Structure 1
Amino acid sequence: MVNEGEWELKPHPVIPRGKPLVLMILDGWGENVEDDYNAIYKANCPHIKALREFRPDRWRTIKAHGKAVGLPSDGDMGNSEVGHNAMGAGKVIDQGAALVDRALESGDMFKSPGFNYVKEAWVNGGTFHMLGLLSDGGVHSRYDQVIGTIHGAWEHGAKRIRVHVLTDGRDVPDGSSLQFVAQLEKDLELLRGQGCDAKIASGGGRMRVTMDRYEADWNIVERGWHAHVLGDAPFKFKSALEALKKIKEDDPSVNDQYYPPWVVVDDDGKPVGPIVDGDAVVIWNFRADRVIQISKAFEYPDFHQFDRVRYPKVHFAGMMQYDGDLKLPANFLVAPPVIEKTSGQYLVKNGVRTFACSETQKFGHVTFFWNGNRSGNSMTSWRLTTRCPATTAHSTRSPHEGTGDSSRLQGGDSVGEVRLRAAEPGQRRHGGAHWRVRCRARGVPSRGRECQGAIGCGGAGGRHLLSDSGPRQL
């Protein structure tokens, strides 16, 4: 145990030593104008109101967006990654979006070892492929960075470029995918006018194709592999715009998040951009969680999560390195943020056991992101995840169905910190159903009391309620 030096935990003015701390994080809970468009306000949450009135001196409203959490500007929406990075580190960290901006503006991206590595492919006649979320939401990616990277590759000799797009509808309004794809088509047409063979090759919705996280459903990644790499999908069209329009016409219920996989084919019906030996592939997302699995599929020769059918030898890189512990991927265009001395590290150094609890789709938030983008259990003594049905959208589940079962915590060993994430409000908000968010908001804080009782923390030294990234639209 460390009691002095750089890892010393100094006495806290409020939280006593020797008693467990219960930290409950509310996913997507935000303070905003109290009007009819504010689901949290309209929910009339009795537990939150009681907490406010019981200890008004302990209630604080803080910024969870913009420069306050390391994003490029105060106009940038906060999100779970930056929120949990900041809370876990206890300080502001320059996030991926800001680092990529600087690398593009300075030109350092195109001098990096990672860029030189992928450049070797097209110097030797290979195609340059880019893959990622097509959006300007600024949570996982941003359109201007995508175009900046494509132009940089063209200026550095890439003659044949193929783009594989994942539609958003989660960090930006549903239906906006048509706008982003149309703009990308125009930008690629300008490149073609300069002699570059640049086309969109494949795509699908982010929640159905490629962008699974925390290994919740490898079928999502497999669908992406078949579309992007093999050029094989149930839907084939002459252009990306035709794909989005035709699929929507045939099934009006499809939204941007859940587009099925599709590929673009030529006049002979052959895919215009399968990924083959000798090509280069760059994932343009700067956020890690939803591209780690597809990165493993490209990077790991020994891979058993699904049958890849064909494993091309490519020069693969990420926009950033997505997992520092796994060194994944080995090559990247922009160095990721270095997050040291997190709260988890301090607790481990002082022998304080931590318990982290969440449901499947969010457990990495209270572990990976909280611990400074580190995987594994090194900073939590143990953790619990409650698996949600992989095929069920959060927006369609019963308004009274929780994402975790606090009774499962009973019988656990004593721990010094319990870190619990309640995912319901944020997950409902992603579905866009105002009334569902209100239903979730009413019940969430009461779960903190249930969990406290289940783990035997009636004498807890501190019970803290935090919000990770309350979006302003709430």
Structure 2
Amino acid sequence: MKKILTIILDGFGYREEEKGNAILAAHMKTFTELWNKYPHALLEASEEAVGLSKGQAGNSEVGHMTIGAGRLLKQSEMLVNDFLKEPDMENANVIKLLENKDKDIHIMGLCSDGNIHAGVDDFLSMYKFLIDNGFTKIHFHLITDGRDTGVHDAMKYINMIKDIIIEYGVGDVVSICGRYYAMDRDENWDRTKAYYDLVVGGKGLSSINIEKSINSSYEKGITDEFIKPIICSKNTIKNGDIIMWMNYRADRAKQILSSIVNWSTFDGFSTENMKDTLVFSFLPVDKKIKTYNLIEPVVVKNSLGLYLSELDFTQARIAESEKFPHVTYFFDGGVDGKIKGCDKFHIPSPSVATYDLKPEMSCVEVTKRVILSMNNDYDFILVNFANPDMVGHTGNMDAATKACMAVDMCLNKIMEKAEDNFYKVVILADHGNADIMINDDGSICTTHTTSVIPFILCDEKVKLQKTGSLVNVAPTILDYMDIAIPKEMEGTESLIVE
């Protein structure tokens, strides 16, 4: 039986153009040697190939879920789009929402066209839906992006909200805040508290001219991601109100929603009584956070990890904090909790304001755990290196280059030990990012890319197709392990050419 080590290089797109390409700038000796020595392919990781809309770049959630599922899934973005085009008026939670039309309702979320966590068009569609169904007290709390969009794009999206408010004559923009504060996922409670104090307590820079306040931030070198809390109206969230949470990704929603929903037991900071406040979301956030979901999530049966578990294969999952949910929850198709025979190793990410300050992040510690796991003879090991993605998001070309260099050093150490421990290694990415750090106009690029991604199977005896997509990965691994694929993956080809 073959033992498999699968390495996911997060945000590691394949692109031959050198300009603004931190991956090529890093001159990754180990990766290049592996690419040249072993069979490889280029895989689609964006757009329709992974269940997203045309032109939409892939992301870590979609990437890991598709890699694990081994089939094409309708992703959250598309589920939300479908709902807003034709809401399910028989859904019990939709009915519950409409029963509360006399209450203040707060539309909250990431307001941009990045469509990784949310989309501005969804804000507009939800607003129209609420207007059409008799809501008259509608308040917007807009989180600025600058990470999955340009770094100075906030007013474009804010103006779209302001324009529709003027058109319909209902509602107001209550607050503005950067995602750095509003969407923290690493228990930096001071950041979450700053956002909570804004949307509940009304604490922030008081502004009657949003554009002037945003431009003032730009003049101080503060880009959209880091916009400090701005309060624009007195209509903050109070007990008994309704919240319509617009983000469809759960990972960066948990902290702020837990502080509101679980106010009585929450211990991150002091919170107000919110026992009569109802929180609606498109999709589930967390088992411990009670929200009323407007859409039934896709159920992924027999993902690669769960299938191997049922076959009594032992597994190790390894990642630092920023990508730990991806090698566990997302890779397993949205299944949380303990899995038979699977040990999960969470390596803390470094405590820094932004990862360009420490581009190596925790890759050395991750590597040590991978080597230890190989020594412990797991049947299947999955590891994620977060560096190309997380440092790529800073827009710092030099730091992203150093991040890729650090990962290459780790690859070298891992490959040495993999051979000693008789592991076969699969290397791939989940989406692009560090491959484009500079836009065509010379501005910095912080977003994901639609580039194809590399796939390497480190066995010279194997022949691979030259192209494919992330849906082909799980069937390929099972094929290589000489394991029959589950019926849910039937119809998805292995990349191995017989």
Q: TM-score range with shorter-chain normalisation?
A: 0.7 to 0.9
Q: What residue is the counterpart of 1:289 in the other structure?
A: 251
TM-score when scaled to structure 2? 0.81
Equivalent positions of 1:263-274 (< 5 A) are 263-265=231-233, 272-274=234-236
Conserved in 2, the CA contact under 8 Å of 1:131 and 1:281?
Answer: yes
Q: Tell me, yes or no, if structure 1 residue 152 matches structure 2 residue 129.
A: yes
Q: Tell me, yes or no, if structure 1 residue 35 matches structure 2 residue 18.
A: yes
Q: Deviations over 1:430-467 (max 9, x none)?
A: 0111222222223313313434667x762333101010
From 312, 318, 341, the counterpart of 2:302: 341
Consecutive unaligned residues of structure 1, counting only runs of 5 or more, are 1-16, 266-271
Conserved in 2, the CA contact under 8 Å of 1:21 and 1:417?
Answer: yes
Q: Deviations over 1:350-384 (max 9, x none)?
A: 22221111111221111111111222232663222
Conserved in 2, the CA contact under 8 Å of 1:39 and 1:438?
Answer: yes
From 381, 385, 388, the counterpart of 2:349: 388
From 197, 201, 218, the counterpart of 2:174: 201
Q: Tell me, yes or no, if structure 1 residue 305 matches structure 2 residue 268.
A: yes
Q: What residue is the counterpart of 2:47 in the other structure?
A: 66
Structure 1 residue matching 2:52: 3-state secondary structure: coil
Conserved in 2, the CA contact under 8 Å of 1:362 and 1:423?
Answer: yes
**Residue type of the alignment partner of 2:307:** Y
Consecutive unaligned residues of structure 2, counting only runs of 5 or more, are 438-498
Determine the C-alpha separation between the residues in 2 that align with 1:304 and 1:218. Answer: 10
Structure 1 residue matching 2:422: 3-state secondary structure: coil
Determine the C-alpha separation between the residues in 1 that align with 2:339 and 2:419. Answer: 24
Q: Tell me, yes or no, if structure 1 residue 114 matches structure 2 residue 93.
A: yes
Q: How many pairs were matched up?
A: 432
Structure 2 residue matching 1:445: 3-state secondary structure: helix
Moved over 6 A (4+): none
Q: Deviations over 1:8-37 (max 9, x none)?
A: xxxxxxxxx1x4311110010011242323
Q: Deviations over 1:152-192 (max 9, x none)?
A: 01110110111111110000010101221122211222121
Determine the C-alpha separation between the residues in 2 that align with 1:320 and 1:69. Answer: 19
Equivalent positions of 1:236-275 (< 5 A) are 236-249=206-219, 252-265=220-233, 272-275=234-237
Q: Deviations over 1:41-67 (max 9, x none)?
A: 333322222112211xx2010100011
Shift of 1:111: 4.7
Determine the C-alpha separation between the residues in 2 that align with 1:425 and 1:228. Answer: 33
CA RMSD of superposed structures (Å):
2.2
Q: What residue is the counterpart of 1:171 in the other structure?
A: 148
Structure 2 residue matching 1:25: 3-state secondary structure: strand
Determine the C-alpha separation between the residues in 2 that align with 1:331 and 1:377. Answer: 25
**Residue type of the alignment partner of 1:172:** T
Residues 424 and 379 (structure 1), Cα distance of their counterparts in 2 relative to 1, 3 Å cut: farther
Of all paired residues, the percent bearing the same amino acid is 24
Please identify, of 240-249 and 175-184, the stretch whose mean Cα deviation from structure 2 is larger.
240-249
Q: What residue is the counterpart of 1:407 in the other structure?
A: 368
Determine the C-alpha separation between the residues in 1 that align with 2:87 and 2:23. Answer: 43
Q: Which has the higher contact order (CA 8 A, sep 6+)?
A: 2
**Residue type of the alignment partner of 1:291:** A
Q: Deviations over 1:254-304 (max 9, x none)?
A: 111111222114xxxxxx221112211011011121112223223224322
Q: Deviations over 1:299-349 (max 9, x none)?
A: 2243223221343521211121134xx174441122222222111111211
Q: Deviations over 1:388-422 (max 9, x none)?
A: 3444201222x455544123556554321221111
From 401, 413, 417, the counterpart of 1:450: 413
Determine the C-alpha separation between the residues in 2 that align with 1:275 and 1:206. Answer: 19
Q: What residue is the counterpart of 2:29 in the other structure?
A: 46
Structure 1 residue matching 2:393: 3-state secondary structure: helix
**Residue type of the alignment partner of 2:191:** I
